[in-house]
Structures are given as C-alpha cells and as structure tokens.
Amino acid sequence: MNDAKPAQPLLPFTRPTIDEETIAEVVAVLRSGWLATGPKVAQLEAELSRYLGGRPVRSQTSATAGLEMALLACGIGPGDEVITPALSFVATANVIMRVGARPIFVDVGLDSRNIDFDQVEAALTPRTRAIMPVHFAGLPVDMERLYAIAQRRGLRVIEDAAHAIGSAWRGKRIGSFGDLVCFSFHPNKNITTIEGGAISGGSPEELKAIELHRWHGQVKFGTDGFDTLLPGGKCNLSDVAAAVGLGQLRHLEAFNARRRELVARYFELWGGDDAPLRLPERGDEGHSWHVFTPLLPLPRLRISRGEFMEAMKARGIGVGVHYPAIHLFSCYRALGYREGQFPNAERIGRETVTLPLFPAMQLADVERVVQAATDILHGARK
C-alpha cells in the first residue's frame, strides 16, 4: 500500500478530553497521600448515583469486572445459560464463561448492531437464567421488550452498557432503571476514569456481594477483626481514577451533545443513496454515540478492509474495528459455534470500520474523514 507520510497530524479514531481542572484535582489527590479507594471513590459513586436518579452505584476497575461480579451477585454459575449477542467486545461473553455458565449467542440487527429479540425468544430454555444485552455504540436496545421477556420468564437482566453512559430510552437514562447495569470508563469511552467501570442497581444483598467480590471477599469488624466470606478478587477503583471520573462527569452531557453534532455531519455528508458505505442506525437524541461504525462494501471493492485502513492511515486518519463476531473466536468455536450461524454479526465483523469520533474533533475533521474515505472507496471499486 501507499507508504507516503501523512500530510497532516494523525487524527485518531478516539481520544479522551481531560481539562486542566481535572488534572489539578488529580495532582491534589497525589499530594494528599490517599491514592487507593477513599473519599474520591465515595464521591464519584454518589455523583453517578445522583446522575442516574438515585440508584445505588458501585465502582470497579473495569466494566469487565463489573459484568463478572454482577453475574456472581445474581448467583449465575455452572449449568446456567446466559443469552447474549454474537457481536460485542469479547469481554461480554468471556465473563459468562468465567463464572462457569454458557453463553448462548443470538444475532443482531445489521444496522442497529443490537440484540435480535426474536432470536432471544427462540433461544430460551429451562437453563436460561439471564439475558445480557449490549447497548451497541450507545444505541439503547428495546428496553420494553427486553424486560417483558425477562419478567415473563423470571430472568435476570445484566445490561452491558459499556458504550451507553448518558444514553436514554424514551427520556429515561440507561442505568436509572432496570436490573443490573454495567458501565465502562475506559479511555476510549464517552467519559473515563483511565481504567474503570461501575454497576448501577441491585438489591442490598447483591450490593454486598459486589462489594465482597471486588475486595477479596473480606469484611472487617471491631478494631482489628477480619473475616473472609468468599474468595473474592481485587477490583476496587483508586481515588486517582475517581478524581479523573469526577472531572469527566461534569462534562458528560456536553461531550455527548458534541458527539451527536459530529455524527449529524457524517450523516449529512453521506446521506444520499450514493453513499460509498453503509451507515449504522441513527437512533434519536437518546443515542450517546460512543463509536461511529459504518460497513464497507467489500464485495464491490478491489481492496480488503486492512488495505482500506492502511490507505486512511497514509492520509493521517486512524481507523479501528468494533468488533469481530465473538462466536468465531477459537474459544467459542470450541463450544460448537461455527461460521454461518449469525450472518449479521459475521457480516458486521468482516465489514465494520470505526471512524474518528470524539468531542475535541471539529466539523472540518469529519469532512476530512468523509473526503478521504470517499476517495479511497471510489478508487477501489471493481
């Protein structure tokens, strides 16, 4: 491919925005001498709870840890089945296997990338204990249908809302209602704690279980008493990370509003029938737009996805992939999954590209991406 140097600075597909006030707050934490879980973590959990309408919130070192602890808190383990989409980051399925349960994959909508509830209904068995949907790219799933199925069958719902902080379903924020809802604050998400995540919801007993699983299963009593109630892990957030999260949370609504403006420009420029790629479902103002992931028309091109990505890089534009279909990884083929079972997830996995989208971008950056991608794709037509 073209080895030419980028004519402009690299435009990554994502980049966090950290303001000087937040940096100063992190410095203050470092100077305080209290770096691990402490007052800043308690403050972040309280602020997130307030943002989510007063629901209880517990933080963790990652959304992955949160999903696993949510499953454990629900008592899900060996012999149980959890229905989940075949398209997500692999962590969504990995945590199901880590607790000893079996992931039951179903397909997704080609444009929404969200779980197909007709297939969920067909996948239910007497061993089904939970549904784990993903609000892909921040587009909420059909919450009414999700919880109708769960209520009818007595199932738990563990929402993988890693992409969806600030998203809303019919005016209600994701995480402000429902069962257990797990968010991610990785640096590529809509807000970050560097690494981190949080769970919203849960009964008092489940909250206690989550607290035990994130800190060695240990409780303290009296001045010097300790007991270990279960073999927990260590997934507690640090005050340094929480200070970053508090600064980010102040800007969440503005960040998401900017993301919607940038996406609107993508749709405006590629809104005609002659668009060179297939755009994702647009949704409404409840969509927080974590990523922008159109599909390449690979059958009509003389280049591969990798070659397209290299051509974009040569023009100074970073491109990612969100995501390969989970069931085609070796770990899940070993369970009997195979190619051809979930055609939409497989097509998305082959054709998807993640184009730049982050709050510090300018509309001119969107125009630069659109021009570069259009030129490359038109030049590569068969």
320 belongs to a structural domain: yes
Confidence of residue 9 (pLDDT cuts 50, 70, 90): confident
CB 156 within 8 A of CB 146: no
The verdict on 88 and 193 lying in the same domain is yes
Give the model's pLDDT for residue 2. 53
312-323 confidence digits (pLDDT tens) = 999 999 999 999
99 vs 85: CA distance, rounded Å: 18
Confidence (pLDDT) at 4: 52
CATH number of the domain that residue 293 is part of: 3.90.1150.10
Residue range 183-214, pLDDT digits in tens: 999 999 999 999 999 999 999 999 999 999 99
Distance of CA 206 to CAs 13, 117, 210, 211, Å? 37, 27, 6, 9
pLDDT at position 230 over 90: yes
Which residue bears the tokens 């800007």?
251
In this prediction, what percent of the chain has a pLDDT beyond 70?
A: 98
The pTM is what?
0.96
Same domain, 234 and 272: no
Q: What is the DSSP string of 3-58?
A: -PPPSS--B-S------HHHHHHHHHHHHHT--SSSHHHHHHHHHHHHHTTT--EE
**Same domain, yes or no: 168 and 184:** yes
What stretch of H or E contains 173?
Answer: strand 172-173
Final residue of a structural domain among 249, 268, 292:
249
- In this structure, what DSSP letter does residue 98 have? H
Which residues are marked as active site?
189
Residue after which a domain boundary falls, among 249, 275, 307? 249
Distances (CA, A) of 45 to 58, 212, 258: 6, 17, 25
Give the number of other Cβ atoms within 10 Å of residue 335's Cβ: 14
The arithmetic mean of pLDDT across residues 107-124, rounded, is: 98
Residue 198 sits at the vertex; the CA angle it makes with 192 and 200, to the nearest 5 degrees, is 135
The CATH number given to whatever domain includes residue 89 is 3.40.640.10
Dist. CA 132–CA 101, nearest whole Å: 12
Q: Does pLDDT of 8 surpass 90? A: no
Distance between CA atoms of residues 149 and 71, nearest Å: 18
If asked whether residues 108 and 245 sit together in one domain, one would say yes
Q: Which of 249, 273, 293 is the last residue in one of the domains? A: 249
The answer on 197 and 335 residing in a single domain is no
Task: Look at residues 369, 359, 363, 361 and name the one whose alpha carbon lies nearest to residue 294.
Answer: 369
Q: Give the domain extent around 44.
A: 20-249
